[in-house]
Copies of this chain bind each other. A is one copy, B any other.
Amino acid sequence: MSKVVATQAGEDDPLLLDRQVCFPLYAATNLLNRLYGPVLAKLGLTYPQYLVMLVLWEHQVQSVGELGARLYLDSGTLTPLLKRMEAAGFVTRARDPADERRVLVTLTAEGKVLRERALHVPETMANGYRPDDVDSLRESVRQLVSTLAQHKTRPPATE
């Protein structure tokens, strides 16, 4: 009764960690979070908060739903996150008078000014890499996402 299981030890075993496509993605994302963390902390932001700022710097007023569609996050994630950003003074939250179901998130003056101090972030982050590698990264990610997007059972999100 010693070898009850232990099947599939060969390298065709689908359950080998090194055969997983998703694990490197998972690990890389955790790594990126750790790398961004200290840089963004100086601005008073976390990584997802930084993403929200990127969206708002493009369009200063956005509903929670629009932010979520852009970032693939739902209100369960965004609501508390936005409350923290409001407490930090970067945005305001207010019901849309034209449709009271919606909540409009608006950049504050402080939030707009923060953009100046954030301008160096992409370069700072890229500085760990050679310029060619950044292009290579960009291309790999583009391919990756383009392939992932073809999944037969898409998630809710925008679609």
Q: Which residues of A contact B (CB under 8 A)?
A: 4-8, 14-17, 19-32, 34-36, 47-48, 51, 54-55, 57-58, 70-73, 109, 112-113, 115-116, 118-119, 121-123, 125, 127-130, 133-134, 136-138, 140-145, 147-148, 150-153, 155
Whether B5 lies near A115 (C-beta < 8 A) is yes
Q: Which residues of B contact A109 (CB under 8 A)?
A: 4
Whether A16 lies near B112 (C-beta < 8 A) is no
A-B contact pairs, 21 of them (CB 8 A): A4-B113, A6-B112, A8-B119, A16-B54, A22-B125, A23-B54, A24-B141, A25-B29, A25-B32, A25-B141, A26-B51, A28-B145, A31-B148, A31-B155, A34-B155, A35-B151, A127-B152, A137-B147, A137-B148, A140-B141, A141-B144
A34 CA / B22 CA spacing, docked (Å): 12
Q: Which residues of B contact A148 (CB under 8 A)?
A: 28, 31-32, 137
Return A92 CB to nearest CB of chain B, in Å. 17
Q: Which residue from chain B places its CB closest to the CB of A32 in the assembled complex?
A: B22
> In terms of DSSP, what is the predominant structure of the interface of chain A?
helix
Q: Which residues of B contact A29 (CB under 8 A)?
A: 25-26, 29
Q: Which residues of B contact A137 (CB under 8 A)?
A: 21, 144, 147-148
Q: Which residue from chain B places its CB closest to the CB of A72 in the assembled complex?
A: B27
A101 CA / B116 CA spacing, docked (Å): 48
A131 CA / B129 CA spacing, docked (Å): 32
Q: Which residue from chain B places its CB closest to the CB of A115 in the assembled complex?
A: B5
